[in-house]
A and B are shown apart, each in its own frame.
Chain A
């Protein structure tokens, strides 16, 4: 056990461990004391308004930025002292970039494959990201969705243990987004750990095991999507029509209430709806700073 504990791939060790992370730009504390733990094989989504500190946090984990305080370990290494070996083990898909315009998809993938000791075969990656038909197209001729899939292809070409995705589907149409999700799901199924930031709640819900909400530099919630912010235990709204007037009640025991209504009305309850708060409701609740506290 002692020998294996030194191996970076020990399954018991979290892929990402963050304690008390702080990053300030001048007087603004962009990240103000974040704790976060991502287990191996997990997909974690970070949500939050623009300027909340998502990208700063992610870029510290990716080794792009130095932190001001806190302990950070990514795959057992401090990303502030990232070396080549560590970089071969992570994949990064940055926010929208416009490079590689003049290279074909295959040329780009083949070139980046050459940076890694054990890359995935180019044809396999083309197939995975659905760009086989576009293999010989130049970067600048790709649509937004195809372009993003190339970015993911470049992110996974080195067989990363951990993949960072920064707002991967911004600007996608719904169909492209669904296709993208199934790509990410298939990577997850192979055991990759994924940390993604997104503005889309349904994306977090579809992909993530855990959702973290960052607001004003702090992690204000970290739960499975179905339980975000106490969503699974919170009150439920039951609405119906009685005596020609709409009625609604917030309750923690919706089943009992519906049974009681059914008994009282002798059968069908007119216009009955039972609604749990959506992920969006919980999210908006979590990032609501109250009046006068809006971000500049």
Chain B
């Protein structure tokens, strides 16, 4: 008998399949990839020129940091928490379970899809910011390095949270009604749409429980000049703290994904 194909090679081929399905499905494409860019265009056009306090930083510069942090949430959490319930309803997961595909290959496919879409989105958001709103790209190696580790930790956490949360919606159809409001609330409270330091402090503290606030703060370190640290609540970007919180959330979300991810719909086996 010939050898069974390896998990890695099947996982690699699942990345391709996952990407094709996402990019060809109009709804998934708009929600996952296009939405942050549309928001960037709209907010950038309306408020882009306004300056934040006496720092001379434009809102567009502030907003691009928030949108990239949000982009992590869209491409991983929203994508999976809406897409997987749909796959469960359509029979994708049940079909896969009936084949010799190693289950790890399915997750590799999802992770690969999330990473590729995120990198694409990151490049497009920066391009839109630079070309249309005079956003400045990070100038130091430290900032680029921070962008890299923030992206890795953020994608890991939010991918695992997406896997865990995919068991919450009762059906694929209702999934976006459960998932989208959560993301919106987190965005409003985490300093994506508004300057975080202007929010009421109870809202700041609520948002500080969740990883989007810390991702956004880290992205501000990446995209804003050092002088903008004065706009932070503590007067610092607190990068060590950002890393700590994201690490803790990564561990927590791994436990949640481990405990809650399901292959079947409720009541099916």
Interface residues of chain A, those whose CB is within 8 Å of chain B, are: 59, 62-65, 84-85, 87-88, 90, 92, 94, 96-103, 107, 111-112, 114-118, 138, 154, 158
Contacts and interface: CB of A to CB of B under 8 A. Distances in A.
Nearest to B3: A117
A158 to B, nearest CB: 7
Interface string B90-102: 1110110111111
B99 A107 contact: no
B94 A64 contact: yes
A99 B95 contact: yes
A63 B102 CA distance: 15
Contacts of B269: 59, 64-65
B91 A103 contact: no
Most buried by A among B91, B97, B99: B99
Contact of B100 (A59, A65, A87, A96): A87
Contacts of B9: 114
A103 B95 contact: no
Contacts of A117: 1-5
B266 interface: no
A100 B25 CA distance: 11
A116 B91 CA distance: 20
B100 A84 contact: yes
Interface stretch (B13-21, B147-155, B222-230): B13-21
Contact of A114 (B1, B2, B10, B90): B10
A88 B102 CA distance: 11
Contact of B99 (A87, A99, A138): A87
Kindly state the interface size class of chain B when it binds its partner.
Answer: 20 to 34
B99 A103 contact: no
Given A107-B17, A114-B9, A117-B5, A97 B91 contact: yes
A244 to B, nearest CB: 61
Given A102-B20, A115-B10, A117-B3, A97 B95 contact: yes
Most buried by B among A65, A84, A138: A84
Contact of B4 (A88, A94, A103, A112): A88
Interface in B1-50: 1-5, 9-10, 13-14, 16-17, 20-21, 24-25
B91 A154 contact: no
Most buried by B among A63, A94, A114: A114
A154 B101 CA distance: 13
A115 B104 CA distance: 13
Contact of B102 (A84, A94, A101, A118): A84
B87 interface: yes
Interface in B61-103: 87, 89-92, 94-95, 97-102
Nearest to A66: B269
Contacts of A97: 90-92, 94-95
23 contacts: A63-B98, A64-B269, A84-B4, A84-B100, A87-B100, A90-B98, A94-B98, A97-B91, A98-B90, A98-B91, A99-B90, A100-B92, A103-B17, A103-B21, A107-B17, A111-B14, A112-B99, A115-B99, A117-B1, A117-B2, A138-B24, A154-B95, A158-B100
B23 to A, nearest CB: 9
A118 B100 CA distance: 12
A215 B78 CA distance: 44
A115 B100 contact: yes
A88 B97 contact: no
A101 to B, nearest CB: 8
